[in-house]
Structure 1
């Protein structure tokens, strides 16, 4: 039975964590909302109301940024779910080299995003890049991956999938390893094959892992900045600009209040997309 004394003791233990959370998250969030209504620099600020939001939505590249952000987020999230699921099925099988493959799949996650962006910028060079040189050996004339507006955003998205699919795979592996082996033995006794086991056991019972991958990948895609900036800088033109890169360009130009308003808009966008989606996809989770 909890006593008043034990309740106070528990609350005391929570205070340090609550203080750190408040200082590092709550306070900066509230100040961001406040400064989004101001014109400010490092020394002073002036209240201007909703002018920053109005100017941000008048930004001519914003609609392109919104479109690119949603395309990037949904393409990368979808590919991470599909590829991560297939890799997890492979790496929970009796494959002899699965430990090596697991390490190889997870390794890109450990590498700096900026380093990955720079490396693939070199690899995707239209004439001197290793990718196009390899394609030329088999008679294929590779495109200008990052210089062609039709390919730039998709090229960055594919690199993001290569870098982030390791996390998705690990989550799927954890979900699959938690499924009791008895279920697979039962379906085998009933005459089911591996496809039946995947369809009727692995897929439905991995739903919590699938939901986690979808949410994490979607949040990451909506907030992506560093990989795009390292590979294309939002170009050519505005063809690979995302909302986050547009915000950064406003910071570079010295429009701190305007860019802060953009961050608030991005925060609200992520919340509006993710929270309803989370409630929708977690309704049908299967409990073991």
Structure 2
């Protein structure tokens, strides 16, 4: 009897959950799955707005023959690692400060998060003016102390790092918010037990706060790393990949091919970027989750 009643309950299960899911599935398919599959096809063609000719893997062969592709790939990885690492460290420190008993804590939280809301292109233009080698406010302030400011965006050795620092300035607010949520969620019982055991502030941080912030850290790392690999708008607004090709990322290389009218080649580049993100991010996610599971 129990088995029969269970089977009857399964048969009487309402179809409403499926119908509620269907609109979201349709929108997801139209806006993500279909364009993704279409881009895979067009990456194998030489296409324009009016026709497409199938050419197999020629676009990929030509894309990997681009003289500055290796530099663009290297810059992309450096940019992603640098920005994600700094957002983790700075975001965590700011979160610890903004969850302590400091004056104007709410105001400071708003100030730190504000750059996240500003247009990326607007941020890029503003910092380009500030980093101007002769008339920028940063070098003018340094000149007051007798320091000759470098060409932040004109020196090939500094251009990529300068843009990465601006990216950190703009995006660290989101990392801080994630860490604040993680800090607030830590039960105070752990700190009380550590206080009874005579733990110092550093021991509290190292043995209590840091391990319990691992979920927040994993989230910040993954989001920042993906954002770094996909970066384009800030690079284009500040340097356009220059000087020369010093700050080119794979996304800016793709856009330059599109500007030149090589639509199939740029589509193949987008597929390469898609695969690259998957190859780098999926193992990283598994590694972070595996560490979490071993605790």
Q: TM-score range by the shorter chain?
A: over 0.9
What are the superposed Cα offsets for residues 54-105 of structure 1, whole Å, 9 maximum, x if unpaired?
A: 0000001101101100111100110000000111111111112221111111
Matched, 1:22 2:29: yes
Q: 2:200 aligns with which of 193, 199, 208?
A: 193
* Aligned-pair Cα RMSD in Å: 1.3
| Shift, 1:285, TM fit | 2.1
Distance in 2 of aligned mates of 1:34 and 1:256: 12
Q: 1:60 corresponds to which residue?
A: 67
What are the superposed Cα offsets for residues 143-201 of structure 1, whole Å, 9 maximum, x if unpaired?
A: 01101101100000000000000011111111111110111111111111211111111
Q: 1:123 corresponds to which residue?
A: 130
| Shift, 1:287, TM fit | 10
Matches within 5 A, 1:64-143: 64-143=71-150
Matched, 1:148 2:155: yes
Distance in 2 of aligned mates of 1:150 and 1:249: 22
Distance in 1 of aligned mates of 2:292 and 2:152: 40
Distance in 2 of aligned mates of 1:33 and 1:41: 15
| Shift, 1:9, TM fit | 2.0
**Count of matched residue positions in the alignment of Structure 1 and Structure 2:** 288
Q: 1:267 corresponds to which residue?
A: 274
The question of whether the paired residues in 2 share the 8 Å contact of 1:205 and 1:286 is answered with: no
The structure with more radius of gyration: 2
The question of whether the paired residues in 2 share the 8 Å contact of 1:229 and 1:245 is answered with: yes
C-alpha change, 1:149 and 1:103, in structure 2 (3 Å) is: same
Matches within 5 A, 1:200-215: 200-215=207-222
The question of whether the paired residues in 2 share the 8 Å contact of 1:52 and 1:258 is answered with: yes
Distance in 1 of aligned mates of 2:294 and 2:93: 22
SS for the counterpart of 2:88 is helix
Q: 1:237 aligns with which of 216, 235, 244?
A: 244
Distance in 2 of aligned mates of 1:113 and 1:107: 12
Q: 1:172 corresponds to which residue?
A: 179
Distance in 2 of aligned mates of 1:182 and 1:214: 28
Distance in 2 of aligned mates of 1:180 and 1:223: 36
Distance in 1 of aligned mates of 2:173 and 2:11: 47
| Shift, 1:7, TM fit | 4.7
TM-score by length of 2: 0.95
Higher mean displacement: 95-104 or 231-240: 95-104
Distance in 2 of aligned mates of 1:178 and 1:285: 17
**Structure 2: gaps (5+ residues):** 1-5
**Structure 1: gaps (5+ residues):** none
Distance in 2 of aligned mates of 1:250 and 1:150: 24
